[in-house]
Structure 1
Amino acid sequence: MPNNTSPSHPSAARSFLSRRRDRVVAACAAVAAFALFLAAAPALEDPSRRRAYLMRPLPSGGLNETMVDAAVEGSFAGAAASSPPPAEVPLSSLGESNFSLGIEPTPAPSMFLVPSPSPSENFDDGSMEEPEHPELKGNPPKGPAPFLQEPISSGLPTMSSDINGEHDMDGKPVLPLRPEQAPLWSTGADKELIYAKNEIINAPLASDDPDLYAPLFRNVSIFKRSYELMERLLKVFIYHDGAKPIFHSPELKGIYASEGWFMKLMETNQNFVVRDPNRAHLFYLPYSSRQLEHNLYVPGSNTIDPLCIFVKNYINMISTKYSYWNRTKGADHFFVACHDWGPYTTKLHDELRRNTIKVLCNADLSEGVFIRGKDVSLPETFLRAPRRPLRDIGGRPVAQRTILAFFAGQMHGRVRPVLLKYWGDKDADMRIYSRLPRRITRRRNYVQHMKSSRYCICPMGYEVNSPRIVEAIYYECVPVIIADNFVLPFDDALNWSAFSVVVPERDVPKLKEILLAIPESQYITLQSNVKRVQKHFLWHPNPVKYDIFHMILHSVWFSRVNQIQIE
């Protein structure tokens, strides 16, 4: 009996050659289309025409679809039809080997695998003015693709003042679950969430807790009770699907370190992670927005469509293979992204964009992507030494902070050029630089400036987020945040007015006046509170209670509990 599956069989050989031919044709079409795009570039110099071209609808099976399908074929092709997974999903290989569906991966077209500069040479919002920092080397910044300047409408209210109805457990309006997000069937985890919400609403008044300083919190009683219940109840299921490097590959250095450190600590966690998805309150989608950019973005193409298609295909595979996404339309799923492009990579999948809990450094209310009351603002932490994440923590006492205000960095975005215009090299008290001059760095480098300043200016760059906010906290300098529409990290729990100053963008010309108007006693309180809040922003190789890992996870938990309807 002949073996029809053998490559030597004529029909199998024809099928094999057909597949190879299709791939070659797709690659040739891609190169030709890319060449046509380059030829048309001079005609697209007008910004409005170029934006319209870049935002054109994707044709079914068109260039980007074909190429990205090929790029992800090895990871996702052949996903099984909808069926629940076994109760126990082994996690022993999580983050160690590529997940396989029994299909040999197809090499991706080379133009999608052109590597970006290494992480150490590619900072969006460079914060260090030391020799190893790219701003000192003169490398160009990496901002968003041009079309990302326009907001992507989500069809949902984005400001809390626009939301009517329910309020969260801190009294702020929130987005309730829409009818299509209501679970198709109930689980024991749903009942635990209802129990948790009732407990948090009726939280007892917190007595003096040596680990929690009440003025730092919006409501310390609610936070404490919610955190206790998270420790006791929360279970997270991590999808093991997806091949490295985009999945299960944490990047622990640079300005995207937040998403990498969370991934590393989440996937190795033994307290919250469960192998049985039927017990889970939350489902983690373990992909890296930084690795998406690094592996799929074509330098100079001015489009992130390949990244968006990849993410869309991944979610479609998850929702086809498992039943858990479809139970809530993704409302109990979350992902963590610190790259500026993280929010925009969701644009081709409505349920991902509208329903999931998006944990984003780029927490901008004005663009219709980040939803206050549902999504989570992720602190952007710039780490140089992954093996020593607590290096250089601390700063000088108040009496030795001789600089009123300090900023040094690249002049990108809408705020920084205005800051430099009014304060650059114009006032001895306002040390505002586009780049620290050599004559100054010989005496005091970037970190020493932050440790010696009363206020550290944290203006937005290309996007609203900046690693300077957490840097200021690390070096015990009161952060001055200038970024309209920015939802500050851990906004659900922390009272930022207790340890920072928020200045509207329009008030940059009055910046010194605003800072000098703060009484000395109030400044001392602010600076003291910066030191107290510091522990909530620290990464530890082995997480400790109330540190940044637990604060991020708590914000996701708190968001999910808030969405639950109590009948």
Structure 2
Amino acid sequence: MCCTNSIGAFKYCFVVPVSSSNSTKMGQQVFSLFFLERKKLLCLIMIITFALILVFQYFELPYGSNILVPSKFDTEKTSTLSNTTIIHQPAASEMFNNVTLLNQTYSQHPFEKVNETRLYEENDTMSRPGIIGVNLTRELNNSYASFHSPSPSPAIAPTNLTPTPASPPTKTLSNDSEIADSINDERFKPLQDDDVDVISSNQSSITILPKEMSGSVIKVPETTSISDMNKLLLQNYASYRSMRPRWSSAVDQELLQARFEIENAPVVTDLGNLYAPLFRNVSMFKRSYELMEKTLKVYVYREGSKPIMHSPYLLGIYASEGWFMRLMEANKAFVTKDAKKAHLFYLPFSSRMLEETLYDQNSHSHRNLMQYLNNYVDMIAGKHRFWNRTEGADHFLVACHDWAPSETKQRMAKCIRSLCNADVKEGFMLGKDVSLPETYVRNAQNPTRDLGGKPLSRRKTLAFFAGGMHGFVRPILLQHWENKDPDMKIFGMMPKSKGNRNYIQYMKSSRYCICPKGYEVNSPRVVEAIVYECVPVIISDNFVPPFFEVLNWESFAVFVLEKDIPNLKSILVSIPKKRYLQMQMRVKKVQQHFLWHRSPVKYDIFHMILHSIWYNRVFTARTR
């Protein structure tokens, strides 16, 4: 008997005997050969399948998720659910456009004469430029939350040339018609951005999602309430740590000792000018502040040239970064010339001057602004060794312009960033970054002018707001409340008056001052309300209020979610009178922490900003 195997390559022949035992033996042999050939075929199929999987994994199918087994290349990608991350990398020629690196030292008195015509006068405190636009709503616009260390940008050879302004100097706005015109000016519109990092598409809807923040495992909810932020702060303090220093330094042990003393601060009874209910833990704050005064040393880099470095505004809504820079550079108690003794390193640039000097309104891009700062850091890292010790974790910046979060998201991402635009959905990290108070300074010689408000008996208005229609929240506010209720004084632009007297008088005579977001989460109205002793009502989801690390904001302010604007009056009238009187009294008490002085005083805004930076460094520092 002859038979062919399953592949047909060989023929097997057998002599079939008559006996039954031989017949059984022949059947067993045939079955063994068949089973052997089937095993070979299965092995071949498995090898081919595995090879195909490897090929697919190597080239990766363009559908956002990987197949069957993880690839080593996945660690270089950012993926949210099933959405694909798209990262736009500019060409080299684009990145170097209009960028110069300045390397000069600066020496000047901190209070040179200020040109007050640069003050932006508007009763909603100025039409601010938006940060980025891709024909989406403002809140879906930005996703700059990335704390992965980017590859260093190629350095540009330093020059001593001052960059030529890309656009004419901003003119003074002398009346409301000019202010309204400025809103329509190209310079004050959202940019058509080519720098958006993460865009995800889901069927017909378009959503922009934040990247995961390296160093923290805590996910940020889509709408972050004040109670959510309290939890996030504690969670990030527990989970986030800065980079371990590349070599040891005595300052690391000093920070470690400071943290131990703050965490174990004894209960204090003599508070001096402090009011305990305003603070999360007044004993910890007082001990931390004392250690800051006793221990902290700051090294200020002198590199960099005007107008971007060392030359800030002292007027208008971006004045916070300017006042801090002036007072920090002139300070003798905290500043050290010996960088080895420094606990913190200050990068003294003005985000407002960066925009005014380099932004080309016809470009609709601020990539050259970002590259300028990247080059500045490269120069600092090449000239000094201190940046490289922690990759910038012990460096800090103070920037109030709306674009600052995106301008500093690359080389400065690991720094402690003190930002007015403190949005947890745009990469602001609670516990590392610091919310900078946005203060509208109208008079540089007397920044506390008009301080205070009317007594409670003369505060007849329940709630007040006036301003331009920036962003999407304010139009909704006016839609529901403009001319709808005599207790709710909700306006758009108010008629012009000298020194904005009408606007200021309304704040001084109202019980609650509405502080809605504009294009971005921050608003100078928050500090204005405190200055005029009006209880702030903050309508801005995801906004981290100033000095959040130490202040208990819910003790003196009201937080209303954007979706609850239709119920605004109901929320306010439901607050018991006793509770309102308590909050208004605390607004007066907290006022001292939000005032600029030409010569800083204990617990004022300068010291509070510096303390928050110090406090976050203490709680995120690591030793070798």
TM-score, shorter chain, exceeding 0.5: yes
Deviation of the 1:456 alpha carbon: 0.3
Give the AA of the match of 1:221.
S
Q: In 2, are the aligned partners of 1:411 and 1:417 still within 8 Å (CA)?
A: yes
The answer to whether 1:545 aligns with 2:602 is yes
Q: Which consecutive residues of structure 1, in runs of 5 or more, have no partner in the other structure?
A: 1-53, 77-89, 122-130
Matching residue within 96, 104, 114 for 1:65: 96
Matching residue within 359, 378, 387 for 2:418: 359
Corresponding residue of 2:182? 139
Once the two structures are superposed, the pairs formed by residues 212-361 of structure 1 within 5 Å of their partners are 212-349=274-411, 352-353=412-413, 355-361=414-420
Corresponding residue of 1:75? 103
SS at match of 1:195: helix
Give the AA of the match of 1:321.
K
CA–CA separation in structure 1 for the residues paired with 2:501 and 2:446: 22
SS at match of 1:458: strand
SS at match of 1:173: helix
1:264-317 deviation per Cα after TM superposition (whole angstroms, max 9, x unaligned): 000000000000000000000000000110000001321001100101100111
Deviation of the 1:210 alpha carbon: 2.8
1:66-116 deviation per Cα after TM superposition (whole angstroms, max 9, x unaligned): 431xx33x538xxxxxxxxxxxxx98669899xxxx9873464x5x53234
CA–CA separation in structure 2 for the residues paired with 1:159 and 1:302: 34
SS at match of 1:237: strand
SS at match of 1:156: coil
Once the two structures are superposed, the pairs formed by residues 3-402 of structure 1 within 5 Å of their partners are 56-60=88-92, 62-68=93-99, 71-72=100-101, 74-75=102-103, 105-106=160-161, 108=163, 110=164, 112-118=165-171, 121=173, 138-140=181-183, 142-147=188-193, 153=211, 155-156=213-214, 171=234, 173-174=236-237, 181-349=243-411, 352-353=412-413, 355-367=414-426, 369-402=427-460
Deviation of the 1:176 alpha carbon: 5.0
CA–CA separation in structure 1 for the residues paired with 2:607 and 2:256: 21
Corresponding residue of 1:422? 480
Q: 1:132 to 1:535 in 2, by over 3 A?
A: farther
Give the AA of the match of 1:174.
Y
CA–CA separation in structure 2 for the residues paired with 1:135 and 1:219: 47
CA–CA separation in structure 2 for the residues paired with 1:216 and 1:56: 45
Q: In 2, are the aligned partners of 1:160 and 1:372 still within 8 Å (CA)?
A: no
Once the two structures are superposed, the pairs formed by residues 504-543 of structure 1 within 5 Å of their partners are 504-543=561-600
Q: 1:171 to 1:153 in 2, by over 3 A?
A: closer
Q: In 2, are the aligned partners of 1:146 and 1:302 still within 8 Å (CA)?
A: yes
Give the AA of the match of 1:218.
R
CA–CA separation in structure 1 for the residues paired with 2:217 and 2:307: 36
| 141-150 vs 258-267, which moves further | 141-150
1:172-229 deviation per Cα after TM superposition (whole angstroms, max 9, x unaligned): 53265657x1111111111110110010010000114131100000110110000000
Q: 1:56 to 1:257 in 2, by over 3 A?
A: same
Q: 1:243 to 1:442 in 2, by over 3 A?
A: closer
Deviation of the 1:445 alpha carbon: 0.5
CA–CA separation in structure 2 for the residues paired with 1:199 and 1:470: 31
CA–CA separation in structure 2 for the residues paired with 1:443 and 1:336: 28
In the superposition, the TM-score normalised over structure 2's length comes to: 0.71
1:5-31 deviation per Cα after TM superposition (whole angstroms, max 9, x unaligned): xxxxxxxxxxxxxxxxxxxxxxxxxxx
CA–CA separation in structure 1 for the residues paired with 2:500 and 2:246: 64
Q: In 1, are the aligned partners of 2:216 and 2:236 still within 8 Å (CA)?
A: no
SS at match of 1:445: helix
Corresponding residue of 1:446? 503
Identity %: 50
CA–CA separation in structure 1 for the residues paired with 2:463 and 2:505: 13
SS at match of 2:294: helix
Number of corresponding residues: 472
Corresponding residue of 2:29? none
CA–CA separation in structure 1 for the residues paired with 2:106 and 2:180: 42
SS at match of 2:98: helix
Once the two structures are superposed, the pairs formed by residues 447-486 of structure 1 within 5 Å of their partners are 447-486=504-543
Corresponding residue of 1:406? 464
Q: In 1, are the aligned partners of 2:465 and 2:513 still within 8 Å (CA)?
A: yes
Q: 1:135 to 1:516 in 2, by over 3 A?
A: farther
Q: 1:427 to 1:316 in 2, by over 3 A?
A: same
Deviating above 4 A after TM superposition, structure 1's stretches of 4 or more consecutive aligned residues are: 90-97, 131-138, 148-152, 157-163, 175-179, 440-444
Q: In 2, are the aligned partners of 1:75 and 1:105 still within 8 Å (CA)?
A: yes
Give the AA of the match of 1:58.
P
Matching residue within 547, 558, 570 for 1:501: 558
Q: Which consecutive residues of structure 2, in runs of 5 or more, have no partner in the other structure?
A: 1-85, 113-156, 197-207, 222-229
1:528-552 deviation per Cα after TM superposition (whole angstroms, max 9, x unaligned): 1100000000000000000000000
Q: In 2, are the aligned partners of 1:238 and 1:285 still within 8 Å (CA)?
A: yes
Give the AA of the match of 1:312.
N
CA–CA separation in structure 1 for the residues paired with 2:579 and 2:213: 42
CA–CA separation in structure 2 for the residues paired with 1:174 and 1:457: 31
Q: In 2, are the aligned partners of 1:115 and 1:295 still within 8 Å (CA)?
A: no
CA–CA separation in structure 2 for the residues paired with 1:175 and 1:371: 13
CA–CA separation in structure 2 for the residues paired with 1:262 and 1:132: 30
Q: In 2, are the aligned partners of 1:158 and 1:365 still within 8 Å (CA)?
A: no
Q: 1:178 to 1:472 in 2, by over 3 A?
A: closer
Q: 1:186 to 1:132 in 2, by over 3 A?
A: farther
CA–CA separation in structure 1 for the residues paired with 2:177 and 2:583: 32
CA–CA separation in structure 2 for the residues paired with 1:193 and 1:313: 30
Q: In 1, are the aligned partners of 2:400 and 2:438 still within 8 Å (CA)?
A: yes
Q: 1:330 to 1:566 in 2, by over 3 A?
A: closer
SS at match of 2:489: strand
Give the AA of the match of 1:105.
N
CA–CA separation in structure 1 for the residues paired with 2:611 and 2:422: 17
Q: In 1, are the aligned partners of 2:216 and 2:240 still within 8 Å (CA)?
A: no
CA–CA separation in structure 2 for the residues paired with 1:135 and 1:451: 26
1:463-482 deviation per Cα after TM superposition (whole angstroms, max 9, x unaligned): 00000000000000000000
